[in-house]
Structure 1
Amino acid sequence: MERRNEILQYIENRPGVTFRELARELGVGIGDLQYHLHRLEKEGKVFSRKIGKKRYIFPKGFKKEYEKLIIAISTETRRKILLLLMKGPKGQSEIAKRLRLSQPTVSYHMDELVKLRIVSARKEGKNVTYTLSYNPSVMARVIRDYRPSLWEKLADNLIDLLTSVGDKND
């Protein structure tokens, strides 16, 4: 029972944690974790969403409107893409160039973001332009509230960027 409470508390503190992350972070065996999650789901204390090959676990009462956003920001590449799109609509080739990613990698992640309805795609001839479907301030609030370590990392990246710009102007 103590182990189950530990699992529940972790999920409440990190909604949208993947099954594998949860097992790794808590040092719980796969079978043991499956058992406890099954019990927690049966008791109505948690629920999960399977997207692709990953299973994301949320505490009871988590806001449905934020589920997809939490899933989207759980991947570093997608986070970078979303941050870039916060500055305005971008084409696939511009995203690939700016983030130093291959076209197929960008295409894969954009397809996933479109499926999640975090991003919308508009085809113009051979080019596709992507636009953020979420209000950037909502995204920032969700990151700050549910992924504080990510928020700190983003703040550190911003400080590094501003410092490097300041050095070039001296």
Structure 2
Amino acid sequence: MTDETDPRTILIHIIESEPGLHFRALQRKTGMAVGQLEYHLYKLEKEDEIMIRKDGRYKRYFLIASSDNTKKILGYHLRNKISRNIIMLLLRKREMSIQALNERMKDREKLDEAIKVLLSDNILIRENDRLFLKNPDSVKEYIRKSRKSFLEELSDSLIDMLDEE
């Protein structure tokens, strides 16, 4: 039996329900002090309960024992600005050439890297010079179910940006 007030149990529940949250979002959701949160995340990582994936300047947290790895990976990509833009464009257009994406995005190097990772994570399919979402319906479903956490993520980003000024 698990203790629902145990900080690690709380963290596991939050990370399971919202994979890919970053440290500050976890801190806000739990109300834990920075040191306490760092300690429990460190312990969970050492116990192979969670994994950390770096996304630019953020560390994103995921459960290792998650039953649906695709959702976990999709959540990660939707929290990354460039990957999210690619996914959203492909949801609207159904398919795009790499050249058309290059024309819409500013940083070609980051775009190329994002496409490479999206392909290796089986989010995208490439046929010749055209890109498609592998499963657009599951992407739409994930976005619908995760809408609230994405709004929180946007507000967290805004707060972080304002804190830096």
TM-score interval w.r.t. the shorter chain? Answer: 0.5 to 0.7
How many residues are matched? 145
- Superposed, 1:150-169 pairs within 5 Å as 150=150
Change (3 A) 1:151 1:3: closer
- Superposed, 1:6-155 pairs within 5 Å as 6-19=10-23, 21-23=25-27, 26=31, 28-29=33-34, 31-40=35-44, 46-50=49-53, 54-58=59-63, 60-86=65-91, 87-98=93-104, 100-123=105-128, 128-133=129-134, 135-150=135-150
- TM-score scaled by structure 1? 0.64
SS at match of 1:131: strand
Aligned to 1:159: none
AA paired with 1:106?
A: L
SS at match of 2:144: helix
Identity value in percent: 26
Change (3 A) 1:3 1:49: closer
- TM-score scaled by structure 2? 0.65
AA paired with 2:132?
A: T
SS at match of 2:62: strand
Q: Give the unaligned 5+ runs of structure 2.
A: 154-165
SS at match of 2:94: coil
CA RMSD of aligned residues (A): 3.4
Q: Please identify the structure whose Cα radius of gyration is greater.
A: 1
